[in-house]
Structure 1
Amino acid sequence: MFNAQYFRTFMMLVETGSFTQTAGKLDMTQPGVSQHVRKLEEYLGRSLLNRQGRKFSLTDAGRRAYDYAVKLFAEHEYFRHSLDDDSPDSGECRIASPGSVGLMFYPFLLGYQQMHPGLTVNYSFAFNQEIAADVLAGRYDVGIVTEAGKQPDLHFEAWHQEPLCLVVPADFAGTTFAELQALGFVNYTDGNTNASLVLRNNFGGEFRSMTHFPRQGFTNEVGQVLDAVARGLGFTVVSRPVLETSPWQRQVRELPLAQPVYDTLYLVTRGDVELPKRYRQLLETFRQQRLNSLYGYSELPSLEDA
């Protein structure tokens, strides 16, 4: 007999790679996890795992069973959440973004939830590729990413732009390209990409690549990168929300740019699903709030300028 719980247990096992972790996450015993996998194998008439002691790998049938389980529960989640589609002020909101966006967007969501008690916000900080994969799998309804992907089952929509800021230590007196080179660069996950855009547009005659800058360090947490800049270790390039929310913003300063450069943000959703009203309302509210804060009016700069 078909049992969805067996598929859920198997899906969790594949994602954790551990019977122990699966048991803990599903509040089961390890023998219970093994029994679910065995029952699923009996139901499908195929071995799903190649077992090597405590380790395992997936058989071809196991890979196909996992793919089916992901689609099965994604459809279930979309159905469950679609029941609240008609209400702009109630229901669950499952959203993910990189830290460069979430540092400002997540506090906004919490305030928005306080004004709309019928909403529940589940928010995750993740990287672009993880967000796209999890939206496709149904773990999030909406992702906000800084790059448009090419997955055929996902829809990427240019949504908003934030200025990129060239940030130096507060006591840095330089303005030239050579002085920035001498200072050195503090990198983070999207640092090279953002710095290249800003420097190419503002120092086009001198900039060749980021490899010509001394590397003064790296962090995978964008919210911490300005700590290094504040200590005088180098410069970096971050989006405006990172600078505006940083506890070190008084120990750093933004270097004026002759040619503004923008970080384009994209909404990623499943291509076969229309966003519920609650998402459209909260996303537009945030966007209008940011536009008014940045430019004094609610009009988006041309996306062609990104």
Structure 2
Amino acid sequence: MFNPHLLRSFSALIQAGSFTRAADMLGITQAAVSQHLRQLEQQTGTLILRAKRPLELTPEGQALREYCLELEQANKRLQHRLNDKVNEGGEISLITPGSIGLRIYPLLLTLQQSQPEFTIRHSFAPDVDVIAALLNNRFEIGLVTQKPDDARLTAHKFTEEPLELLLPAGFVLSCWQDLQSLGFINHPDGNAMATRLLSRCFPGNPGIQSLPVSGFINHIGLIPEPVSRGLGFTVLPRYARLAFPRQHLLQVNSSSVNVVDTLWLVHRAEWPLTHRAERALTWLRQHLEDEVNPSLATSSAIYR
């Protein structure tokens, strides 16, 4: 068992990079910092190469540094849980992909209006950045489209989101040639999404690469805009389409085949969710369930 005062001096030394600055940070003498380091090294062996500038950690020093970081995180988790029991308010931090984020952020703001003790912090990010943010404890909860296999994370099914073939209102689609005449509004995930959906709606089609591209936009909230103006068609997740304000200018192509993505709720496995996060998730689930398309229960659906 290491003396916490000695570990505090060691951590300050790593952060400051010199004995003098570490002593200033801690409000003690430089000699005291050196003495604390020697006491630790009696238990561990040499921790720091003192002749190096900046100071360089030995393998034993690196191991102790990682131990100090683990202790810091454990203390934060404990404080987090203790505070959560006495304070129902506070920050709800969530990081999600763009489409589902467009839908749930307004819902969370509605929750905040009814519960002013909450503060909403939401960020948009692709799956890989969501995972990194959770592992680095920058956000409490996240949503991803691919279930992670990292043992440090726990994942539960949150909701489902189908891909939709989005057309200008009033456009009559009967065959692949109609899509060719209209043109494709592409976006960063456009080719992948269109390939997944169109290959099932139009079996044997010559592929998305055979369609003329009539536009490209990388802002998910604006992808329906050129479609609404009759400039082309696109393929989007449902919540991205629902976030568009002028729904009357769009139409979703009806099909007997649905391509449905599962959205996974992810958080740190060893860090229980706060009460406020659980309340927010209950709120979101209740409102998202109202938007589930009943036709998915009866049509042929392909899940990922």
Q: Is the 8 A contact 2:135 2:152 kept in 1?
A: yes
Q: Tell me the SS of whatever aligns to 1:261.
A: strand
Q: Helix, strand or coil: the match of 2:138?
A: coil
Q: Is the contact between residue 103 and residue 242 of structure 1 (CA under 8 Å) also seen in structure 2?
A: yes
C-alpha displacement of 1:48: 9.1
User: Contact conserved, 1:87 with 1:278, CA < 8 A, in 2?
Assistant: no
Please name the residue that 2:156 is paired with.
Answer: 157
How do residues 154-193 of structure 1 correspond to structure 2 at under 5 angstroms?
154-193=153-192
Between the aligned partners of 1:60 and 1:188, the Cα distance in structure 2 is 49
Range with greater deviation from structure 2 (262-271 or 74-83): 74-83
Give the one of 242, 261, 264 matched to 2:262.
264
Match of 1:217 in 2: 215
What is the deviation of 1:136?
A: 0.5
Alpha-carbon distance change, 179 to 115 in structure 1, aligned in 2, over 3 angstroms: same
1:3 Cα shift? Answer: 4.3
* Cα distance change, pair 213–292 in 1 and its aligned pair in 2 (3 A): same
Q: Deviations over 1:52-86 (max 9, x none)?
A: xxxxxxx999xx79x95986765555444323444
Once the 2 structures are TM-superposed, how far is the Cα of residue 100 of structure 1 from its aligned partner? 0.5
Distance 1:172 1:70 in 2: 59
Aligned counterpart, 2:250: 252
| 1:94 and 1:123 in contact (8 A); partners too | yes
| Offset of residue 171 of structure 1 | 4.3
Aligned residues of 1:223 and 1:242 also touching (Cα < 8 A): yes
Name stretches of at least 5 consecutive residues in structure 2 with no aligned partner. 1-8, 38-46
Q: Secondary structure at the match of 1:96?
A: strand
TM-score (structure 2 length as normaliser): 0.71
Instruction: Specify the code of the residue in structure 2 equivalent to 1:152.
Output: A
C-alpha distance in 1 between matches for 2:69 and 2:301? 34
Asked if the contact 1:88–1:278 (Cα under 8 Å) also holds between the matched residues in 2, the reply is: no
What's the % identity of the aligned pairs? 31
Unaligned 5+ segments in structure 1 are 11-31, 50-58
TM-superposition CA deviations, 1:131-178 (whole Å, max 9, x none): 110101100110111222333322222210123221012242223223
**Are the structure 2 counterparts of residues 84 and 176 from structure 1 closer, same or farther at C-alpha, using a change threshold of 3 Å?**
farther
Tell me which structure has the larger Cα radius of gyration: 2
Shift of the 48–225 alpha-carbon distance from structure 1 to 2, 3 Å rule, reads farther
| In the alignment, structure 1 residue 45 sits paired with structure 2 residue 48 | yes
Q: Is the 8 A contact 1:264 1:303 kept in 2?
A: no
Q: Distance in 2 between matches of 1:4 and 1:122?
A: 30
| Aligned mate of 2:274, from 276, 281, 285 | 276
Give the secondary-structure state (helix, strand or coil) at the position aligned to 2:197.
helix
Rate the CA distance shift 1:112–1:161 in 2: closer, same or farther, 3 A.
Answer: same
Aligned partner (choices 232, 235, 238) of residue 234 of structure 1: 232
Of 263, 283, 287 in structure 1, the residue corresponding to residue 285 of structure 2 is: 287
Contact kept? 2:259, 2:301, Cα under 8 Å:
no
Q: For 2:290, what is the secondary structure of its paired residue?
A: helix
Give the counterpart letter for 1:2 in structure 2.
F
RMSD of the TM alignment (CA)? 3.8
